[in-house]
Amino acid sequence: MQIESTRFGALEVRDETVLTFPDGLIGLPGTSYALVAQSERTPFYWLHSAEHADVAVPVTMPWLFFSGYEVRVPDEDASRLELADPGAAEIFCVVRAASKLEDFTINLAGPVIVNASRRIGRQIINAAGGYAVRQPLFSEVELNEVRNDPARAVIPATAAG
């Protein structure tokens, strides 16, 4: 399938890599998204709408920046995601970029949970509690500390550019 993107141009995405968010993502249109990476070793991805060329949000795996981060998925959300095994979940958090690195924030209160085997996702309210919607991203680590981390998402990402 081809996704038109105002950010990246035309992207060729394998149909089996498209993620379905039956309830959408909070504040965004559409229910079909693809994970897009600008480089192979980046700690950041774009969750790009397959339906809206101008909708893409940056996301990352929170443990690259917050090693003690805890996620508790409420039973109702786990059921809607068909998650029998917590290990089948991929967890991303939305990043708010800014002109200066020190102003970047991450939403630790509302992680995006994806059942990697079923390719369905849902943004939830983290039942662990105590996390901010706009936590400074670089409050525990510096960017150069995470750039070369080998942690990769199980979900294949489409290469941009």
pLDDT one-digit tens code per residue, 41-83: 889 999 999 999 999 999 999 999 999 999 999 999 999 999 9
Domains of the chain: 2-140 (2.30.290.10)
Whether the CB-CB separation of 36 and 18 falls below 8 Å is answered with no
Six token digits for residue 34: 């693809």
CB 44 within 8 A of CB 35: no
Angstrom distance (rounded) from CA 110 to CA 122: 10
Task: Check residues 33 and 160 and name the one with the higher pLDDT.
Answer: 33
Can you name the residues that pair with 135 across neighbouring β-strands? 106
Average pLDDT value for residue range 138-145: 84
Q: What is the mean pLDDT of the chain?
A: 91
Task: Identify the three-state secondary structure at position 87.
Answer: helix
Answer whether residue 104 shows pLDDT above 80: yes
- What DSSP state is assigned to residue 76? H
Which segments of the chain are extended strands (E)? 2-5, 9-12, 19-20, 32-37, 44-49, 56-60, 89-96, 105-106, 112-115, 120-123, 135-136, 158-159
Enter the pTM of the model: 0.90
The yes-or-no verdict on residue 125 having pLDDT over 60 is: yes
Give the β-pairing of 158-159 and 32-37: parallel
